[in-house]
Amino acid sequence: MRIRSLLIAAGLALATALAGCSTDGVGTMFTADYGARTDAGYRLPAIPVSKVPTKFRRQQVRYDTKEKPGTIVIDTTEKHLYFVMPNGKAMRYGIGVGKEGFEWKGTARVAMKREWPVWTPPAAMIRRRPDLAKWRGGMPGGPQNALGARALYLFNKRGDSGYRIHGTPEWFSIGKAMSSGCIRMMNQDVIDLYDRASVGAKVIVK
């Protein structure tokens, strides 16, 4: 019986290693998912994940909520985004949020999703940063694009809120308040969220 138990434990450990994840006191962490990859013809560089605080790395955690699976809950104070899953679980991601004067809270929905989206800086941003005027007609998608590898477009009752959940090449901005109100994620994380979230999903920002 002891030999059988040891074999089962070894098998579980091997499966965990092959899946590129590990288990700590919080939950299942996907540290190995931040390597370089090619996506839609673009080369996505690796993230030096050892420089990213553990609490901001993608991990499956226990999460008690009355919201139904598929809902996205954004905690701007803790800098975490939760994708609600069945059975009291959630996938948790580290995020960057709006800097002072650009914070917002409320409820929205995912109206559209785009891979390697074009970024068009709004007029107000161009007034603050005239150097962005060259992208008035749109910055093509790519590794250096401000929206990163994926974008989820948030609409409210009045229509387009102007806010996005999107990737960023600036992985070091995760856990900080330095955006113009949009929710930033590491590119490897926003790809994972994009594949999980559905158009029409409820988004709660608190």
Give me the active site residues, please.
Answer: 166, 182
Give the CA distances from residue 109 to residues 116, 124, 141, 154, 184, in Å, rounded to whole numbers and listed in that order: 20, 24, 23, 5, 17
Closest CA to 151 of 115, 195, 187, 121: 115
Give buried/exposed letters for 119-128 (b at 16+ CB in 10 A, else e): bbbeeeebee
Distance CA 117, CA 167 (A): 10
**How far out from the chain centre does Cα 33 lie?**
13
Number of Cβ within 10 Å of residue 67's Cβ equals 14
Distance CA 17, CA 29 (A): 11
N-to-C CA span, the chain: 51
